[in-house]
């Protein structure tokens, strides 16, 4: 009976956790990408992204592919307005395996892998503190080690990593074409909002 009760409890908890998960992990539009997580979300315009690729490292003579897609940003500070402190704090903990890997293979010093609590100074001279500041330090450390600021785990996507990485690259390329068409349409519209065509 005890085993049956424990099994029922585990199944119930697993069901509740599953219900708390968002229906979709990603929303892709011509303008932006949104990563949905049960602790929040982050959203980026495609123009904010510098590079997208599967995370891999060459250690000695061994090529190791990690189960993540990396995203390098043009300016990491733009992420501040697009991620909640709760989500930022959660990602720091979820990405501990990356920190451990980097320290193990000497991609970063042990000191860099330690969570930073001091205020973070932005490029405009202002400072921020709390989870967002810690997250920016965390992103900088991972960028120095792997060359990416954000990481999408393989468990969050509905297909294998090469396919999803290719999809994101296609969306990024298409967004530039979409943006140029939008700008062209706007330039053909007069001040009264009427189309000159």
Residue 153, classed as helix, strand or coil, is strand
**DSSP secondary structure string, 48-108?**
GEEEEEEEEEEETTEEEEEEEEEEEES-GGGGGGGB-HHHHHHHHHHTHHHHHHHHHTTSS
pLDDT digits (tens, 9 = 90+) for 71-116: 999 999 988 988 989 999 999 999 999 999 999 999 998 888 888 8
Residue 189, domain member (yes or no): no
Residue 195, domain member (yes or no): no
Number of domains in the chain: 1
The whole domain housing 62 covers 2-183
pLDDT digits (tens, 9 = 90+) for 122-176: 999 999 999 999 999 999 999 999 999 999 999 999 899 999 999 999 999 999 8
Residue 192, domain member (yes or no): no
Residue 85, domain member (yes or no): yes
Residue 87, domain member (yes or no): yes
Residue 149, domain member (yes or no): yes
Residue 23, domain member (yes or no): yes
Q: What is the pLDDT of residue 46?
A: 95
Residue 110, domain member (yes or no): yes
């Amino acid at each position: 009976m005890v085993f049956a009760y424990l099994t029922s409890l585990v199944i119930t908890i697993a069901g509740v956790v599953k219900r708390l998960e968002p229906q979709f992990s990603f929303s892709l539009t011509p303008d932006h990408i949104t990563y949905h997580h049960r602790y929040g979300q982050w959203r980026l315009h495609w123009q904010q992204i510098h590079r997208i690729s599967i995370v891999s490292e060459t250690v000695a003579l061994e090529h190791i592919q990690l189960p993540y897609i990396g995203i390098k940003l043009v300016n990491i500070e733009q992420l501040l307005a697009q991620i909640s402190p709760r989500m930022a704090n959660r990602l720091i903990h979820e990405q501990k395996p990356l920190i451990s890997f980097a320290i193990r293979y000497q991609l970063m010093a042990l000191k860099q892998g330690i969570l930073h609590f001091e205020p973070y100074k932005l490029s405009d001279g202002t400072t921020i503190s709390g989870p967002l500041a810690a997250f920016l330090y965390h992103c900088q450390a991972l960028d120095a080690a792997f060359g990416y600021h954000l990481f999408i785990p393989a468990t969050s996507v509905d297909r294998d990593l090469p396919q999803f990485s290719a999809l994101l690259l296609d969306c990024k390329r298409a967004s530039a074409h979409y943006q140029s068409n939008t700008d062209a349409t706007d330039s053909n519209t007069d001040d009264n909002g009427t189309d000159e065509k």
